[in-house]
Structure 1
Amino acid sequence: MTSELPGKAPLDQALLDRALVEEATKKSGLVWVRGAGEPAARALWHVWHEGAACLIGDGPGEQPLPGLVHGGSAEVTVRSKDKGGRLVSWTATVVELASGSEAWEAAVAELKGKRLNAPDGEAMTGRWARECRVLRLEPTGGVLPLPDGDLAARPVPSPATTREPAPAGLPKLLLKRRKPK
């Protein structure tokens, strides 16, 4: 299937799909990923690097990557950074990068700049090499129809999660007006 723009040569639909996947994924800091055999998608932060979404995880203090195995497939849904709505869904081949390889070093350099609140600062790349997996989600072709319904998986239990009621006095403290001096 081809599209034609006024005054331009016909465009291949696969090329348009690839551009949509790349631009949408590059601009979004968060994607929903469902690995093979997983019942629900999981929100994961990533960076777009050399034609694929790169992820770090499965180590202490990092995001879990269930169902994402080397050579397997995944379904990726990209959201709008501005509005949060779904833009595009695409399939990917999962490639696990070998720690210390040239591809691993390049991906980690990109991921390092986007990692927020790392507990070990500059030492995180060494921890990633020892304890984590770096994955590339490489697009396999065209786009998929956008999924219906909720994509969210139940949050993984964590000591960082707080589900306690707010203290009774907190609203008073937050709404209290300061007296002029």
Structure 2
Amino acid sequence: MSQTAELHDAHDHRHAGHQHHDEPHTTISLNRTAFWATLHCLTGCAVGEVLGMFIGTALGFSNMATIGLAVVLAFGFGYAFTMLPLLRAGLGLRRAARLALLADTASIAVMEMVDNLVMLAVPGAMDAPVSSPLFWAALAFALLVAAGAAFPLNRWLIARGKGHAAVHDHHHHHHHQIPDA
């Protein structure tokens, strides 16, 4: 039985008022899956965010232009990091792109919104040069806060068979032939 199916089974039993015998395992598994999905999104966001903030700050872009560049790059790297294993598993480009959009859009959007709000809220962070410890400390703090905000969203989506649940099913079943739609 797939992890998503197990989660749905436990979810259905809880709502039916039954105690499922391995519900604690399912909760741990759900938390673990959500943690890894969040870490995965954080990695793509961090690469894009760091590059965008670094480039924008180094070139003297306005705060809004720097944030815009960072957001575009964060989405780009986030989607790319999801698509690469799917492409390696044999999915076609269109299907891999569609799954990446479904899996990552909500999580990246939350991360980017929170991350950039935190960067704007830390006094001097957006105006600090890239050589400044303030810049890097604020960016690291902002990314951690963003991951904390995205975790419950990822957990909620995965528990409902959405978000990274679809991608994980493909990663776990890549040895089967997956038709490209």
- TM-score, length basis structure 2: 0.32
Higher RCO by CA contacts (8 Å cutoff, separation 6 or greater): 2
> Considering only CA atoms, is the larger Rg found in Structure 1 or Structure 2?
1
Higher helix content, 1 or 2: 2
Flag the structure with higher strand content: 1
